[in-house]
């Protein structure tokens, strides 16, 4: 299995994309807000965009290094475009056969598309189109798979289903895969490693668990959905660390870390009550609710610097509404400390 | 008031065409088609139009694809030059052709007053109509599909034949029909550059002009024939729209000025 090596410098409208990355036999996701340069990375790897300078190489094949520039049709990439870019005038089978006629039937079978072989793209559902796009990309026997927002064109209803399906397929293919998405949940579900791309730079690259446990910046934390509270850490009684936030709030963690620290707490570890409860939690923060976002059987409640995830039932029972003053609490054992540069 | 205006406009547009068929009885019209003048003019017209159409499609299609898919300095100037003959008065096109290809012209050729001259006149006047429509048709092909084809291993030639050409087909067909109709009806440039020699350069419109003070009913029969040809072309253009459902081009008279 060849390793993709990418070292890019691409001037974009508002900033310069500078990025170095290696992708082995794994799935790497680049996440970031729209306009962060995610798609440009894929286009540069595929040869659809010429970097100002840098290197794109798969194994010992150099595709771009300033002197060499291999055209897209001779790079072994399987590119799945955001809206899938299926050829509307060709049937499903013809779409797949376009990239490799001798492998078309086998791939249609493998992706469960045999029954749809004679259908045209316009007659397919979003999930089916996605499978056709994947089959077509695989038909040219790529050395690397590039996926641009693979779930972006799907409605929320089919998204979870297709996500599980794609995850299974990527796992079976065991091809080096680079995908970009603006949705951290998709990245975490599909990728072995996740890079957070902001303004053309990777601010953090790690496993989904690493990003959750130790976000390198408030932005990464916001993206992964965890709480990151920035403050000064100092030793406290009982071997704990006390973190003083800029507004004077004092919080406790069982981790030991001094100086400028980030305190990470997962929203599902934060409880909400009307009055400060007399329980084992060391951290109580009183604040007004600024937002309540229902998510099916759960809801995200934002109060002060914290986001808590509570069940819809609790939301109803406690009658939590924006503007109300409540107490958020979490245990010192649920508060992870991570050093901040 | 609106309805009245619409009625006036419609009556005015339809009246001349209707008058041709009201003045000559249909069986009389069919009978006059056997006249040697009509037969010769029809043959000259079909032959020169067919050759011109082959040249227009064969050279115009790849040229339009190039113009539609490349971005380069001066592109809008090139597009404007391509469209210039559309607005040029045909008489100017004719004198220009003489100045370029005449015996004493720039290129010193013996083309004037031959069938080649008829073909060149048609190409100059009708070609830009096709080219303009073809550039618009290729531009309306989703660029992502072309990129997808390339990432799937297709060289530019294959991308053109398998993706761009079929997706632009209805727009190209509409452009071809328009150019054909314009070519069949070409008058001004042809009469100046090729003359009106029966059996050699006298096309249907030239025959109408040659006959109208000699044999008015023969001129009417020729006119009826041209109306039939034009009607058939218009019908073909209208039918091309549903011909390829997936094409995103708005065929026909959408302003395809492609400089954006």
Structural domain includes residue A119: no
For residue A111, being part of any structural domain is answered with no
Q: Is residue A129 part of a domain?
A: no
* Choice among A3-17, A59-73, A285-299 with the minimum mean pLDDT: A285-299
The verdict on A305 and A208 lying in the same domain is: no
Domain end marker among A156, A189, A213: A213
Chain segment B176-198, per-residue pLDDT in tens? 999 999 999 999 999 999 999 99
Distance of CA A163 to the CA centre of its chain: 12
Mean pLDDT of B206-229: 90
Which tokens hold the place of B15? 């009246």
In a domain, A177, yes or no: yes
**How far apart are the CA of B215 and the nearest CA of chain A, in angstroms?**
53
Nearest to B203 by CA among B48, B30, B35: B48
Question: Residue A244's domain spans which residues?
Answer: 226-339
Q: How confident is the model at residue B250 (pLDDT cuts 50, 70, 90)?
A: very low
pLDDT number for residue B242: 52
Query: Strand, coil or helix: what is B257?
Result: coil
CA nearest to A60, candidates A1, A140, A139: A1
Show residues of chain B in contact with A78, CB under 8 Å: 151
- Its sign, for the CA torsion B25, B30, B34, B40, is positive
Domain count for chain A? 2
Test mutation, A46, A69, A98, A142, chain B, max B CBs within 10 A: A98
- Beta carbons of A98 and B149 less than 8 Å apart: yes
CB nearest A72 (choices: B151, B167, B244): B151
With residues binned 3-state (H G I as helix, E B as strand, rest as coil), the percentages for chain A, rounded to 5, are: 30, 35, 35
The separation between the first and the last C-alpha atoms of chain B, rounded to the nearest angstrom, is 39
Summarize pLDDT for A269-305 with one digit per residue, the tens.
Answer: 999 998 888 888 899 999 999 988 887 788 889 998 8
- Do A197 and A312 belong to one domain? no
- Show the DSSP H helices in chain B as ranges: 2-23, 26-32, 36-69, 75-87, 90-101, 115-139, 143-151, 156-159, 165-185, 188-193, 204-211, 216-243
- Encode pLDDT of A153-196 as tens digits: 888 778 878 888 898 889 988 899 999 998 888 898 899 999 99
Residues A61 and A187 in one domain: yes
- Retrieve residue A150's tokens: 């693979």
Secondary structure in 3-state letters for A54-67: EEEEECCEEEECCC
B249: Cα within 13 Å, side-chain hemisphere: 34
**What's the residue count for chain A?**
341
**A186 lies in the same domain as A245:** no
Same domain flag for A324 and A247: yes
Residues A299 and A241 in one domain: yes
A240 and A207 together in one domain? no
Domain end point (choices A156, A179, A213):
A213
DSSP per position, A290-312: EEEEEETTEEEEEETTEEEEEEH
| pLDDT over threshold 90, residue A221 | no
Domains along chain B with CATH numbers: 34-243 (1.10.3720.10)
* CB contacts, 8 Å: B151 with chain A: 46-48, 72-73, 75, 77-79, 137
The complex scores an ipTM of 0.80
pLDDT tens by residue, A239-273: 999 999 988 899 999 999 889 998 999 999 999 99
- If asked whether residues A262 and A293 sit together in one domain, one would say yes
Residues of B in contact with A149 (CB under 8 A): none
Band (pLDDT 50/70/90 cuts) for residue A51 is: very high
- Quickly count: other Cβ atoms within 10 Å of residue A19's Cβ: 21
* Same domain for A299 and A173: no
- Return the percentage of chain A with pLDDT > 70, whole number: 100
Q: Give the CATH number for residue A305.
A: 2.40.50.100
**Domain harbouring A200, CATH code:** 3.40.50.300
Task: Clarify whether residues A209 and A236 are in a common domain.
Answer: no
**Cβ atoms of residues A126 and A152 within 8 Å:** no
Which residue of B137, B148, B157 is the best one to mutate when testing the A interface, meaning the one whose CB has the most A CBs within 10 A?
Answer: B148
Regarding whether A327 and A182 lie in a shared domain, the answer is no
* Residue A234 backbone zone (phi > 0: left; psi -120 to 50: alpha; other: beta): beta
Do residues A203 and A238 share a domain?
no
CA distance B251 to B241: 7
Cα A101 from Cα B158, distance rounded (Å):
15
């Amino acid at each position: 299995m060849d390793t993709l090596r990418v070292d890019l410098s691409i001037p974009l409208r508002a900033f310069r994309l500078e990025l170095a990355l290696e992708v082995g036999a794994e799935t790497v996701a680049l996440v970031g807000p729209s306009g962060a340069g995610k798609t440009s990375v894929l286009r540069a790897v595929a040869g659809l965009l010429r970097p100002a300078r840098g290197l794109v190489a798969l194994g010992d094949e150099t595709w771009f290094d300033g002197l060499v520039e291999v055209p897209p049709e001779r790079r072994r990439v399987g590119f799945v475009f955001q809206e899938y870019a299926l050829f509307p005038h060709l049937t499903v089978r013809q779409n797949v056969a376009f990239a490799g006629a001798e492998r078309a039937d086998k791939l249609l079978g493998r992706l469960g598309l045999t029954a749809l072989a004679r259908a045209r793209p316009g007659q397919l559902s979003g999930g089916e189109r996605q499978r056709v796009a994947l089959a077509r990309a695989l038909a040219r026997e790529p050395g690397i798979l590039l996926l641009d927002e693979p779930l972006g064109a799907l409605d929320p209803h089919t998204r979870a289903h297709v996500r599980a399906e794609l995850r299974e397929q990527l796992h079976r293919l065991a091809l080096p895969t680079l995908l970009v998405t603006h949705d951290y949940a998709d990245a975490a579900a599909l990728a072995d490693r996740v890079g957070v791309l902001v303004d053309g730079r990777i601010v953090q690259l790690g496993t989904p668990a690493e990003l959750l446990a130790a976000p390198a910046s408030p932005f990464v934390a916001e993206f992964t959905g965890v709480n990151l509270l920035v403050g000064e850490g100092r030793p406290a009684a009982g071997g704990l660390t006390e973190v003083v936030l800029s507004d004077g709030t004092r919080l406790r963690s069982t981790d030991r870390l001094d100086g400028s620290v980030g305190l990470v707490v997962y929203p599902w570890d934060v409880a909400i009550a009307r009055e400060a409860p007399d329980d084992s939690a060391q951290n109580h923060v009183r604040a007004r609710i600024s937002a309540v976002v229902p998510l099916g059987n759960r809801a995200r409640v934002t109060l002060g610097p914290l986001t808590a995830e509570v069940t819809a039932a609790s939301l109803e029972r406690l009658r939590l509404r924006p503007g109300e003053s409540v107490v958020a609490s979490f245990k010192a054992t649920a508060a992870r400390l991570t050093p901040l540069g | 008031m609106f309805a009245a205006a619409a009625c006036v406009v419609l009556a005015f547009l339809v009246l001349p065409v209707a008058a041709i068929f009201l003045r000559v009885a249909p069986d009389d019209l069919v009978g006059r088609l056997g006249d040697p003048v009509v037969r010769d003019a029809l043959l000259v017209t079909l032959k020169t139009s067919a050759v011109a159409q082959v040249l227009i499609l064969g050279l115009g299609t790849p040229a339009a694809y190039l113009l539609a898919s490349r971005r380069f300095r001066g592109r809008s100037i090139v597009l404007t030059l391509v469209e210039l003959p559309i607005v040029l008065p045909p008489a100017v096109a004719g004198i220009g052709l003489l100045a370029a290809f005449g015996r004493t012209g720039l290129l010193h050729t013996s083309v004037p007053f031959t069938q080649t001259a008829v073909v060149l006149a048609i190409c100059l006047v009708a070609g830009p109509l096709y080219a303009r429509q073809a550039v618009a048709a290729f531009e309306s092909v989703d660029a992502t599909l072309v990129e997808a084809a390339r990432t799937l291993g297709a060289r530019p030639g294959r991308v053109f034949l398998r993706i761009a050409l079929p997706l632009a087909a209805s727009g190209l067909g509409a452009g071809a029909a328009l150019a054909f109709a314009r070519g069949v009806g070409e008058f001004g440039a042809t009469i100046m550059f090729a003359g009106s020699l029966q059996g050699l350069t006298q096309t249907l419109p030239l025959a109408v002009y040659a006959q109208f003070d000699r044999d008015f009913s023969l001129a009417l029969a020729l006119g009826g024939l041209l109306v039939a040809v034009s009607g058939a072309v218009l019908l073909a253009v209208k039918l091309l729209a549903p011909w390829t459902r997936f094409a995103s081009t708005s065929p026909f008279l959408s302003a395809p000025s492609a400089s954006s």
